[in-house]
Structure 1
Amino acid sequence: MEILVIGGTRYFGKRLITRLLDAGHRVSVLNRGSSPAPEGVTELRADRNDEKALESVLAGRTFDVVVDQVCYTPRQAAIATRVFAGRTRRYVMTSTVEVYEYEDSAFPVAEGAVDPATVAVDLGLPWEDPEFLDAHYGEGKRQAEAVFAAGAEFPWAAVRVAHVLGGADDFTGRVAHYAERIRAGEPIAVPPVNRPATYVYVEEIAAFLAWAATETDFTGPVNAHSHGPLTTAEICAAICAEIETVQGGGRTAFREVEVGEVSPFSFARSYGMDNSRAEALGFRFSHSSEWLRKAVSETLSAATVAQEG
């Protein structure tokens, strides 16, 4: 298949591209050129926010599937609906569990809780402002999905990705944040009622995206996560166990915070999703207990090497 990946030069995007290449597909990668594209792909350089530049670099090209790893706003989605009309047979957008930030009525939450066809779109908001976008990450994804639902001429799907764990190249710093506090015996800030959330191993989400791009033709949103919701305490226990094994010592302490910032991977509301639609479509997820310790070990080992270097 001819596959275009927009973004995808780091973390699970790199793993997705490797899987696609290993399966024999022809892969093009479109980005601004700030990060090198993996070997074996056709590199296309353009700013996805520049519609004319996209039209120019894609002139004469068509794709079986486009996998969009970096669609964060409804404006970007609107450009994509115009630029890729007639250029792709299918479009897969990487979305997020954060689209459910206003939905706290059920645990776990299914895709129907946020129907893109009913989400209001406001293209006039300051989506280019990094601070605004960071503060409205989930809303940006919700509205991007809504744009595809309302105006795409091609079949589209949105993969709502759970929080991702694992990998030596985890750039989020979340696991490291916990490890530093556990090593020092410093308290970890959590809300008074700390809800569990669903997670996914970095290799598993790459496998799911590759499957979604090449082995199925479902449309609309789908939740993607491993079985077995995790609590902050369970994640900390895995981190603490790894620290004790490698370095000795380490203690987990929590401090409840009524108002103010809490630690990552701690939630006053549930971010637990229902993955039954994905499994009914044919994908089989693992259980978090199968990979949690491995995921923590990968990330902390890399962080230790970086510190020693």
Structure 2
Amino acid sequence: MSVLVLGGTGFIGAPLVRRLLADGVETAVGHRGTGAVAAGAASRVLDRRDVAAVAAVVRELGATTVVDLLAYTEADTLPLVAALSGRIARYVLVSSADVYRNYEGLHRKARPAPILERLTEDSPLRETRFPYRLARPRAAGDPQAWMDAYDKIPLEEAVRAEAGFASTILRLPLVFGPGDRQRRFSWAIRPMVANRPRFVVPHPWASWRATFGYVDDVAAGIALAAVDPRAAGETFNLGRANTPTNLAWAATFAEHLAWPGEVQLAHPRVARGALASAVAGLDLGYPLFLDNARIRRRLGYSEPTPLEEALARTVADETGR
């Protein structure tokens, strides 16, 4: 087996490539030449949108599996799917929990009835499309203009319907760890390492539950699904098995950092600061609570990283220490 990873130098891609190599999988990385490729992986500089170039690399390397971390829009993905049809045995689409119906409620795109139990791979999906499209389209020169066309749902549908290869779809949780540009736990880590005696969070945020995954653990799940023949034709949720509230996450970091302070809860109307501003537009009555038992049961997946190590590396990355 030979695996070509598209996007293998990024936040999730780099640890994914390292995991594949550690598992003895012949691995190549298709990239634009701006990131470091893990030692031991074949490196090919290409533009993923150049489908002929991707097909040529697949043919040159004899790649049997393509893991696509950069599938965001129909325009940048459907031509690639067509070009790879009949050329590979498996296409692995890295999707997202943003396909679920609760996500459109969370971002106030619609007001469906909240699903309060765990979201399984068969839970209802969004009925609205383009979750990050703005009311006024982004300018053509805006580096985030592609987000107006972003949607994983039609991409999932396209790869499932493709007869020229088997597909595997992986729906990712909120991913944290070294390299997380969204700084998902900055709201808790920063005041703790600054030894502030207390900090305030809006009470709906404190009680909100979403499934998180440490980046190396998520990468291990993708690697496992990419090479295990039992994953062909399957869709899997990834993420940690337990889904604590944000307040419980704060308690976990406080214990790890031996922070003796207090997290105070405030009504959203009086809460102040960056966190309050960031969550003001969300309806936190919609959890993103993923059931990821399927990949554990069918493929034997479990997190390879001890939680204390994940916390330590996340704190070190956040603080630059």
Q: How does the TM-score come out when normalised to structure 1?
A: 0.80
Indicate conservation of the 8 Å contact 1:74/1:144, yes or no: yes
Match of 1:281 in 2: 298
Superposed, 1:41-80 pairs within 5 Å as: 41-55=41-55, 57-58=57-58, 60-80=60-80
Matches within 5 A, 1:107-186: 107-114=117-124, 130-131=143-144, 133-134=146-147, 140-151=151-162, 153-166=164-177, 168-182=178-192, 183=194, 184=196, 185-186=198-199
In structure 2, what is the equivalent of residue 269 of structure 1?
286
**Cα distance, 1:266–1:21 mapped onto 2, change above 3 Å:** farther
Task: State which of 210, 218, 221 in structure 2 corresponds to 1:205.
Answer: 218
Q: Measured at CA, do residues 114 and 144 of structure 1 come closer, stay the same or move farther in structure 2, by a change above 3 Å?
A: farther
Aligned to 2:273: none
Residues 249-264 of structure 1: pairs in structure 2 closer than 5 A: 250-257=261-268, 261-262=278-279
Cα distance between partner residues in 1 of 2:79 and 2:145: 20
1:286 and 1:36 mapped to 2: Cα distance?
25
Give the count of matched residue pairs: 295
* 1:297 equivalent in alignment to 2:312: yes
Aligned residues: percent identity? Answer: 24
On the 8 A contact 2:205/2:279 being kept in 1, the answer is no
Q: How far does the alpha carbon of each residue in 1:237-257 deviate from its partner, in whole angstroms, 9 at most, with x for none? A: 1222233x3xx5543223332
Across the aligned residues of Structure 1 and Structure 2, the Cα RMSD in angstroms comes to 3.5
Q: Secondary structure at the match of 1:79?
A: helix
Contact 2:206 2:245 in 1 (8 A): no
CA distance in 1, matches of 2:279, 2:21: 40
Alignment-derived partner of residue 107 in structure 2: none
Shift of 1:204: 2.0
Question: 2:67, 2:92 within 8 Å by CA — same for their partners in 1?
Answer: yes
* Structure 2 match to 1:231: 245
What runs of 5+ residues in structure 2 fail to find an aligned partner? 105-111, 270-275
TM-score (normalised: structure 2) = 0.78
Question: For 1:63-97, what per-residue CA distance to the aligned partner results, in whole angstroms no more than 9, with x for missing partners?
Answer: 22111112122222202212212221001111111
- Counterpart residue type for residue 297 of structure 2: A
Is 2:255 the partner of 1:241? yes
